[in-house]
Chain A
Amino acid sequence: MKILVAVKQVPDTATQVKISADPRAIDTTGITWIVSPYDEFAVEEALRIKEKRGQGEVVAVSLGPERVKEALRSCLAMGCDRAIHLNDPAWNDADTLVTSKALAAVVKQEAPQLLLCGRQAIDDDMGAVAAQLAELLGWPCASWIMEEAIDGDGKTVRTARQVEGGLEVFDLPLPAVLTAQKGLNEPRYPTLRGIMGAKKKEIRDVKAADLGWAPEPPQLSVVTLEALPPRPPGRILQGDVPTAVKELVRSLREEAKAI
């Protein structure tokens, strides 16, 4: 079974992000880049499917500038067989729809049986690309899955997706799109052998022209990035516990009107 995993490289959560001279973008100097955590769940699940079935191929794909190769390299170190890098300035302003269209073109070329993504990338938190890919490909989609099981002959996948108050279980005919929610699995660390072997694996550069891509403007664009408005300074309530608690309840009732 061939599985494609779409991943995004994002700043590490702990990294400080600052707005750059261009107020629509962040200053990328000094940023530590990682594979978006939900995408790691997707990679892990793909590897487990391959291991369980005893055969198959897991291909990691990502869109972004040259630095994205590092993210792809860590997917290869985890165990992906090869990688595809959509690497072209034509996609510099890509919104989720442009990204989805570019990825959909690659998916059509590769024709996998399964496309796995994280439930959202933790930079933009848009959570749209997987669903949009499903729409563009005409594939069924199960979002925020907590478990999956592919039947023996590889024709359908049973998934449990997290919804308010429970899980909804569906059978999806393959090919299909699944997005990984935390709890699906515990991603492995790349082993040293995996890391040493990653360089020998292929990362194929794909340019817009390779996909017959006609330049397309984004449908959503950033007007500006802004720092958070500062929260008004808080108050530490003094005194022993009963006194502080009484003051808290009074404040919540009378000042904040929160209760």
Chain B
Amino acid sequence: MKLDATEEQQMIQAMAREFAETAIRPVAAEIDREGRFPHETVKRMGELGLMGVAIPEPWGGSGADTVAYVLALEEIAKACGSHAAIMSVNNSLYCDPVYKFGTDAQRERFLRPAAAGHALGGFALSEPQAGSDARNQQTLAVRDGGHYVLNGRKQFVTNGREAAFVLVFCATDRAKAHRGITALVVEKGTTGFLVPKTEDKLGIRASDTAELVFEDCRVPTANRLGEEGMGFKIALATLDGGRVGIAAQAVGLAAGAFERSVAYARERKSFGVAIGQHQMVQWMLADMATAIDGARLLTLRAAGLKDKGRPYTTAAAMAKLFAAETAMKVTTDAVQVHGGYGFIKDYEVERYFRDAKITQIYEGTSQIQKLVIARAVLGGTE
């Protein structure tokens, strides 16, 4: 078993770390406070190739792999959870399925700009009545000549307002239940595609989470990804990859909070010694370090399996579950290590704590991951 990153993977990680440290970290507190989408840094991430890491070069991507992607994403998340959310959705939930399921003409039109970082992509699956229960799609697309006429409402769409392209899942044949779900790329500016609301959130506040409404929105059939009825399969396959990304984001958030806790424990004195000299703090830091390493290894394993083309649904679910739980636990403890200072905004850990919560929820809650894992354990299909 080999755990060493290749020279390229190390260089990508180092570049992402330096960029995150010098360009993202200085703005992280401010954009969080203001709930402001970081256009400038996201544009630079695109120029650096961070928005289409594992997409082949001919389609605007960087031609690296999933391992490089999770290494880079962890570094971005270490500096700012919002940037990581924006990056992970564009890479995993938009570019990945369009590359995998799109025709060359679709890749040219819908993938290249997003992978090259010129435009953002989004992924619209959740609905007011269909979160974890994604089979229950209420958004309806009715065929009308060369178009689908789309009607419905999508919720919690990351990059929803900013995205030039949104991969929208909708029912084309209600009778077939989840086999009647279809994936359409809907372009920003299409008549009847409305963004009425951006959510005010607990964490990842600088990422854009929007509600989308479709009112007789006419989408060309040429924008359909795969065949009619393939949507659910595309969504599930995409979420497997997305979960690896969220795991990396969670590891980064945990690692960022941990690094600050270590620095604080070395500096801050109580009872005449640095608090890091107290055993109770040492125990917390040791637990944090161990959990983070475990989460990171699970994440890298899932990424490695994906790169090798081997089944990784269960590995992705385990990575996402463990990393998200770790992020929540570690950031909670990080606030504790900081004491009263952890609770105020002068120190960054409270932001990590708020940002971590979403990793237990989106792209499949921790409970859903357990369901996926349990199914595999009890002899499911992979």
Contacts and interface: CB of A to CB of B under 8 A. Distances in A.
Whether A and B touch directly in their complex, counting CB atoms under 8 A apart, is answered as yes
Contact of A193 (B7, B57, B72): B57
A192 B48 contact: yes
Contacts of A70: 7
A192 B19 contact: no
B27 interface: no
Contacts of B8: 195-196, 198-199
Contacts, number: 45
B311 interface: no
A96 interface: no
B11 A190 contact: yes
B11 A189 contact: no
A195 B12 contact: yes
Interface string A189-206: 111110110110000000
A195 B15 contact: yes
A192 B7 contact: no
B11 A77 contact: yes
Nearest to B11: A195
B47 interface: yes
B64 A192 contact: yes
B63 A196 contact: yes
B49 interface: yes
Interface residues of A, number: 13
Interface residues of B, number: 18
Contacts of B62: 191-193, 196
Contact of A190 (B15, B57, B64, B68): B15
B96 to A, nearest CB: 16
A191 B115 CA distance: 13
B104 interface: no
Interface in A175-224: 189-193, 195-196, 198-199
Interface in A17-65: none
A100 interface: no
28 contacts: A70-B7, A73-B7, A74-B11, A77-B11, A77-B15, A189-B19, A190-B11, A190-B15, A191-B47, A191-B48, A191-B62, A192-B12, A192-B15, A192-B50, A192-B72, A193-B49, A193-B57, A195-B8, A195-B11, A195-B12, A195-B15, A195-B64, A196-B57, A196-B62, A196-B63, A198-B8, A199-B7, A199-B8
Interface of A: 70, 73-74, 77, 189-193, 195-196, 198-199
Interface of B: 7-8, 11-12, 15, 18-19, 47-50, 53, 57, 62-64, 68, 72
